[in-house]
Structure 1
């Protein structure tokens, strides 16, 4: 992957949104890019593609525009084709964009996302030196080669490569090294860490008794599905995301007695699929119940 360090700006481009100008420069260097909204998340799917109603890209294995030509499907929308991301379908997204992201796997690289000083210290002791990019709280270590993209492989460490995206934060420093076995090994977890709970979920179901806001069973079902999807789509900060989702679900659906153990188990399963432990799920649920006085 070639990182631009001093790309001359075309005077004819100065009227473009800053994020789009950056994206054009990166695409010219072969980096598949996409816009990010405020909060570092990808742009939401268009109406035709909401909840992947369109079927998504075939197998979601390669970067590029989705069939509707809008910046849909997160990392799978990343592209190096400037005619795509300067098209009318993308124009609104770039005007709203708060940052630019790229698809590491599409660029043939892997990003080890070190989220804090402890994680950076661990990497310096255990991983070979490579190109590094400073982040708000830590560093991105970038290696040549691709792999899967598990989150929370150890405290403060995520991997972003295939079927993932990373925020563009600059070219960084240092020489990029080949992807080492030590990084690949991080993706191999103990089975118990990611499979569903082997004991019953013990999240307390609120007693209820309040006014029921649900116009139909489908209303609650849609709310639970959206909550699980939000957890599954979380790019980072999974502990915080899980708690906030639990809090939102309980706030909207927890006072009337409609929530069941089956609903809670669906949310816990989504969280565990992102690497969250059953104990953390139960703690987050209990904390949310207490915060709402249930």
Structure 2
């Protein structure tokens, strides 16, 4: 099924009048699994029973679990086409707080190429087959028929959302949707995040960590930079089962954004090396880790330009 329904494009903000739920029901009726988004346009947090995936997670997640929680826990994995679930008493208060509707592309047999800026859109127009296009705040969503693994930061400003991610519903878009091309599948590199017991993911050479000596033009204190970096490294190291490469991209982008107003140099290369090392330590192939971190650093600079 494809999101061809004519559900109206939801505006931002709270909607106690039920417009988000009506949009969700329209999409569900067209076979598109949906879920509500809260402030920040992110999924609602897990309930107490499911907090920290203590329940084992939804059966359709990467690490299949026993969860049958009636609440919209586990982000994209809670997306559903069941109108009885969407209108249930457990979901009712969530819809009253929702600011947007999201859908699970892979569950609808779709792949979304998320183009986050004008440069990414220009690249897609030169590289990918034309298909249905949905305008976004900063760029475009290109929708293809067919599902595939999801991956963030496949190149600067480009994410692939399908089997294990959600996409925000921004309307049906325009244009004829075509079959998922090999060019999109080729963008995704498998990320092996759990090495076999005793296996060394990579033997990275020892490099000097970030210090004031390599950041002579940074306007921040050393304590400020080190605190932010250590928090980011902890987030990457915590992804022992999946997502460490994507987390490395996000950490690199966030940390680099803190230095866009500095005269420089700020030692971003040294920061990047520490993030790469953290990702490799939990099983991310070094090549993948370096690409994710480089894309994260580059994306932050492009957004600041």
TM-score greater than 0.5 by the shorter chain: yes
Q: Secondary structure at the match of 2:114?
A: strand
CA distance in 2, matches of 1:132, 1:100: 18
Q: Which residue is 2:28 aligned to? A: 27
CA distance in 1, matches of 2:93, 2:244: 26
Once the two structures are superposed, what CA deviation does each residue of 1:245-281 show, in whole Å capped at 9, x if it has no partner? x9xxxxxxxxxxxxxxx999657857968x6538959
| Aligned residue runs from structure 1 range 192-271, under 5 A | 198-200=204-206, 202-203=208-209, 224=234, 228=238, 238-239=250-251, 242-243=254-255, 266=278
CA distance in 1, matches of 2:19, 2:203: 46
CA distance in 1, matches of 2:73, 2:94: 10
Per-residue deviation at 1:188? 2.9
Name the Cα RMSD after superposition.
Answer: 4.3
| Aligned residue runs from structure 1 range 41-190, under 5 A | 41-58=42-59, 60=61, 66-188=67-189
CA distance in 1, matches of 2:6, 2:67: 30
CA distance in 2, matches of 1:99, 1:20: 9
Q: Which moved more, 1:53-62 or 1:179-188?
A: 53-62
Q: 1:34 to 1:232 in 2, by over 3 A?
A: farther
TM-score, structure 1 as length reference: 0.68
Per-residue deviation at 1:238? 1.9
CA distance in 1, matches of 2:246, 2:143: 21
Q: Secondary structure at the match of 1:58?
A: coil
CA distance in 2, matches of 1:197, 1:234: 21
Q: Which moved more, 1:127-136 or 1:38-47?
A: 38-47
**Larger helix proportion of the pair:** 1
Q: Which residue is 2:41 aligned to? A: 40
CA distance in 1, matches of 2:290, 2:275: 18
Is the 8 Å Cα contact of residues 41 and 235 (structure 1) preserved in structure 2? no
Is the 8 Å Cα contact of residues 197 and 278 (structure 1) preserved in structure 2? no
Is the 8 Å Cα contact of residues 103 and 168 (structure 2) preserved in structure 1? yes
- The alignment covers a number of residue pairs equal to 246
Is the 8 Å Cα contact of residues 109 and 145 (structure 2) preserved in structure 1? yes
Is the 8 Å Cα contact of residues 238 and 276 (structure 1) preserved in structure 2? no
TM-score, structure 2 as length reference: 0.66
Q: Secondary structure at the match of 1:188?
A: coil
Q: Which residue is 1:277 aligned to? A: 290
Q: 1:118 to 1:278 in 2, by over 3 A?
A: closer
Q: Secondary structure at the match of 2:160?
A: strand
